[in-house]
Each structure stands twice: as C-alpha cells, then as structure tokens.
Amino acid sequence: MRISYLVNYPTSFKAHSYKFEPKSGRLFIQTDNKPKLGEMPCLVYKAGNDEIDEKSMDFENGLYTASFYVDFLKPEEKVRYHIKYEDTGAIDKKNEKEYELTPFAFLQNSLIKTRNQYRQPLIHALNSGKTVGRILCKNSFHSWDSIENINEPTIIITNTFHTVLNNPNVVGIIFTSFDSGALSHMSTQLRNNTDVCASVFDPKYIQLLTELDGKSVELEVEDEKLQVTETDKIGEPKQYSKVIIPEQKPCDKILTSKEYSSDIVGAKAVNLKRLEELVQQGKIDVKIPKSIALPHTWIQHLFDENKGQQTSYDTAKGYYDCKEQIPAYYENSFENRMNELIQTMAKNGLDIDSDYVMVRSSFNGEDLSDYSAAGLYKSIMSEVTPHDLYEAIVEVAQSKWSDDAIYSRKQHGIDAKTIKPTVLIQDCIVPDYKFTVYTDFADDDKLRIDMLSDGMVYAADDIQPHVFEYDKKTQTLTYKSIQMITPKVCYDENFNEQLEPTQNDLSQRPKIFEMVEKLIKNALVIEKEFGQPQDIEGGFVGNDIYLWQTRNINN
C-alpha cells in the first residue's frame, strides 16, 4: 500500500462537510479526503457525556460519510470528533485538536431553513386557543411522575415529550424542537388534553418564553401567531365536560351497512351508512368502501368462548378489572366462526381476495356530538385469514383498555361498563393520496385539507402534511404548505448552509388540484347534510375519491 507521501500533508486537513436532518436529529459528517490520508476512514466521536464511539465511513459520490443521532436535551452540549484512517494510522484533527460541533445550533438553523423552504409555519398550532398558567421550562418529560406532580395550572416549555398527558393542570405545551405530524394520534391526544399546544421554532419567541420561566402568563396561540404576557390572573385546570354514552341493545348477528343503527353500533358505522345514502341519492360523488359490523354482543362471545383467556384471568384477576383486558388466545374453536365471518364478508361485497382489510373501532363512546374520542381506539390492517382476523378483531376490541382510553374516560366521568366495542371490517383502500378534511378550521369561513402523498400515506406520525386552505366566503383555494418528510440541510466546513432541492411539491400536478376542488365540493355537501362541521378521512385513488370516515368536529 502506497502511503509514503502522507508525511507531506499536515494533520489539520479541514475539508469536511455536514448534513443535518432536523426532524430526526441525524447528523452526517463527511470528508472528501483530498490529501489522501488513507482509504479506510473511521469516525471517532463523543456526543455530550456519552462514551467515545467509532463508525466506519462509507464512500459514496466522492465523499466518505458516517452518521449518528444527537440528543438535544442540553443545548450547550458539544459533539467532538476526529477521523482515523485504519489502513495508514493517519489522524485528521483540526490544529491537533478535536473538531467540535454544537448540534443545537444545527437544529435551530436547520428547522427554520427547512420549514421556510416547505412553507411549514414556524409557529405550528396543534391546538389553537388561549390559556393562563405558570411557565415551566424543562428540556424533556419522559415519565408519568414528572407530569403527575404538577399541582397548579402550568404551561410546559420543552424540547421533547414522551409520556402520557395525565394531569389537567398541564393547560398548555410549547415544543421548541419537536413537531408531531398533524395527522398523528399524538397530535390528537395533545389537542384533547390541553387548552393550548404548539411547536415554536422562531428563536425570538423561544427566548421570550424561556425568560418567563416560573412566571404566570396569559398565552394565546394560532398558526404563525403567539402572544404571551405576564398576568396576575389565576389559571384553571383543563376542564372536561361530563359525557353521556348512548346505550346499546344486544345483537349477536353480523350486520351489513344497511342495518347499522345508533342503538346497536357506534357513530362511525352509522355515519358510514349516511355517507352511502348520500352517494345513492346522487348528492355526493365519492366511493365508500364496503363494510360489515360486528356488534358488541358478537364481540363478547369471542371473549366468553376463549378458555385460554379465562384461565389466565382466573390467575390474574386481582390485577385486571375484567377478562377482556387479558391477552387473547387463538383457539381451534374459533376456526369455524372466523370462516363464517369471511364468507359473510364475501356475500356482502368485501374483497376477501385482497391482501388486507381494515379492522376498525366503532364504539358507542366515540364520534359523539360532544366527545370525539379520536385516537383512543385502534384501527389496524389485517390479512384475510381466520387467525389474523381473529387477532385483529380482539386487538381492536381490547383497545377499550388502553391507558389513553382509561384516562380519557376518567376525565369525562365515563363508566367503562357503558363502553360497548363494535368492530368494523372494511375494504382496505391503498390511496395515492391520503387526506383529512376539516370543514370548519380556525373560523367558520375556512376549510382545511391535510394531505399525505408520494408513498407517505401511512406515515402520519413522522411527517408534516401538504396543507390546502379554502376560503368559503371568497371561494379561494390556497396551497399553503408542502409535505415535509426528513429534509436535510448541508453545511460546508465554515458552516455555510445549502438546502437540498424541495421534494413532493404538488404545484406542478394540476390533476391534484382538480381532485382537491372536487373533494371540497363534496365535503361542503356532507357538512350541510350532517348539520355540523365535519372531520372527514379518505384518499384519492386514480380519479376516484374514497371516504372511509366522517365525524363531528367538537368545538
């Protein structure tokens, strides 16, 4: 191996560059190795107080690259590194010292640059509104007790939040580096359980909020708008309305959509029936996936007949409230019941030859006029086999006992015994574009569409969607934001940045705008027919609009 020329080059070689993914916190360190220090570079780095780590660098497009994820819990923490060449023993340092980076500086700069590039708001309101509380600044929340011990109305300012929000004294949350996907279940829970919630990336507002740590303030948040002032007012804990759950009659037969009624199945199924009727009447031009419903009595039989589950419950009933909380077992006795179910699906037009069907909750305790329970209960894809269908049906039914569902019932004074799990089985539509329409957004004159495209239709937790806004008064459609996945910002050795080309921009896809306009027309009819603003979910498949759910928007 020829290495004799290496002595002619100093160890202060600097031709490094960087890429940073602000969404994921992934940092790429690159070198072009122009002095040819060797051919087997290895990145040796230490992030914060962690142990020294090493990663081999891969060669691609003329650059050697290695990447790792950085933690932003302490904005002042540094990443220190050098590059070691395994084949020559050469060390690439900066003036004989470690290279040094401040990840939080990358984070703040990259977030602003990429959000502006994709027209995503620097103040993103997950829950618009006003509240009063004491500011509490803390880098992260990872445990229940960190929330439970808050004993006065509080507005949390934090980088990250990874625990159940189980305290009504948390009246507001402001994220300073994290942004939940607008269509995600986490966003839904944050909207349900706070008076105000937003992700804020503008440094001047972050500084203003952190300087108010420990102070009582009045806070108002909307997209692109934040107002905060000190106050002598005393805040109040988050208030939850008392919810009355509609009763359900016993029914142990499989129901077709024509048989859905509010005294047997939940509102999600009943609303599907109403959408089908609007299609039949020619009032809306959409497609509704075929479905059947398994009412709560039919579901209860699955638990009552499960001997393995009963045995587990008998030994653990001091811990579990009821048998339905115990993990279910698939038993041979269910083969006939599931085969009968698949035959019924086929008779009623469901596509049993497809790879998957959707198995979804339609409990009597969700999609109500005063309580949506959005995100509390499961919807999952299942293969069309007896075993997989059984597993999926039971999993959806058992989501009645999720932590979020139990806590929500406690907030609203709901007795668990009143919740009756109906399970919907629906044709699985794999859309080219997936959307949620809010027919009343921010004010009575605005309709909003959040949309996912380009293979991201099942990634709602991870990305920010395309956003379309329609002004009902002026009949004007605006394409406000571009779907943002994990864009990178590139930096040279002097930390000058360069943005990668924008991805997923729908501006040059005129057919999509035709479909969006058609969707808006149908959504406004649905809002009128239901007599209340609607939250509508569906997707585009070719030239067709599919709708698989609508629920009331609870103001």
> What are the boundaries of each domain within the chain?
4-101, 118-230, 255-427, 433-493+503-552
Name which CATH class applies to 433-493+503-552: alpha beta
Q: Where are the beta strands (DSSP E) in 300-432?
A: 356-361, 379-383, 423-427
The token duo for 500 is 């990668």
Can 4-101 and 118-230 be said to share one CATH topology? no
Quote the CA–CA distance of 73 and 162 in Å, as a whole number: 13
What is the predicted pLDDT for the residue at 442?
A: 67
**CATH for 255-427, among 3.30.1490.20, 3.40.718.10, 3.40.50.300, 3.90.1150.10?**
3.30.1490.20
Distance CA 497, CA 112 (A): 12
Strand 196-200 relative to strand 123-127: parallel, antiparallel, unpaired?
antiparallel
Residue with tokens 């009246």: 171
DSSP assignments along 125-186, one per residue: EEE-EEEEEEEEE-SEE-SHHHHHT--S-EEEEESEE-S----TTEEEEEESS----TTSHH
Q: How far apart are CA 173 and CA 159, in angstroms?
A: 10
In a structure prediction context, what are the per-residue pLDDT tens digits for the chain, which is 555 residues long?
223 333 333 445 568 999 998 877 889 999 999 889 999 999 999 987 778 999 999 998 889 999 998 876 567 788 999 999 999 999 999 888 999 998 888 888 888 999 999 999 999 998 899 999 999 998 877 776 778 889 999 999 998 777 777 789 999 999 988 787 666 777 777 888 899 999 998 989 999 999 999 999 999 999 899 999 999 999 999 988 999 999 999 999 999 999 999 999 999 999 999 999 999 999 999 999 999 999 999 999 999 999 999 999 999 988 998 999 998 899 988 999 999 999 999 999 999 999 999 999 999 999 998 888 888 999 999 999 999 999 999 999 999 999 889 989 999 999 999 999 999 999 999 999 999 999 997 666 899 999 999 888 776 666 889 999 999 999 999 999 999 988 889 998 888 889 989 999 999 999 999 999 999 999 999 999 999 999 999 999 999 999 999 998 875
Looking at residue 203, its pLDDT comes to 87
The DSSP-derived string for 362-392 is --TTSSBTTB--TTTS-EEEEESSHHHHHHH
Cα–Cα distance for residue pair 292/61, rounded to 1 Å? 53
Tell me what pLDDT residue 6 has.
33
Q: How far apart, in Å, are the Cα atoms of 69 and each of 22, 60, 87, 176, 399?
A: 10, 20, 27, 18, 33
pLDDT at 5: 32
Q: Is 272 within 8 Å of 291 (Cβ atoms)?
A: yes
Which pLDDT value is given to residue 358? 97
In one-letter notation, the amino acid at residue 340 is: E
pLDDT of 460 reads 63
Neighbours of 295 (CB within 10 A): 26
Q: How far apart are CA 268 and CA 174, in angstroms?
A: 32
Which CATH class for the 118-230 domain? alpha beta
| pTM greater than 0.95 | no
Fold of 4-101: Immunoglobulin-like (2.60.40)
- Say what the pLDDT of residue 438 is: 93
- Cα dihedral across residues 308, 309, 313, 319: positive or negative: positive
303: its two tokens: 């638990």
Q: Give residue for tokens 């002598």.
A: 232
